[in-house]
Every structure is written in C-alpha cells, then in structure tokens.
Amino acid sequence: MKDSTKDQTQGAFHKVVGKIKALAGKVGLNSELEGKGKDEMRAGKVQQKVGEVEKVVGK
C-alpha cells in the first residue's frame, strides 16, 4: 500500500475513533475524554490531508 493511501486510511480511522471518544466523553460528562477525542479527530484530519498532498505530489 502506498504511503499516501495509508495516511488517508489511518487518518479516516482516527477521525472516526476520535468522534466516538468525544461523543462518549460528552454523554458520560467526562471532559478529559471528550477533549482527547477532539484532539484525535483533528490529528486524523491532518493525517488524511497529508495523504492527499502526498498523492498529488506523487510521493
């Protein structure tokens, strides 16, 4: 698997996991878990964009 595809896939995975954590933290009134989930979603978005850029650049 190309690095760009791997980054896009892993980024999408982290976005989903982060969303689940954020929702679980919000429902359970656990602000720390909610914050970690939001951070993971952001990291997933960045990783996904890196994969898209790598694909365009041809790396």
DSSP one-letter string for 2-32: -HHHHHHHHHHHHHHHHHHHHHHHHHTT-HH
Q: Taking 70 as the threshold, does the pLDDT of residue 14 lie above it?
A: yes
Question: In the chain, where are the structural domains located?
Answer: 3-57
pLDDT tens column, 21-56: 999 999 999 999 999 999 999 999 999 888 888 888
The type of residue at 4 is S
Query: pTM above the 0.85 mark?
Result: no
Model pLDDT, residue 1: 67
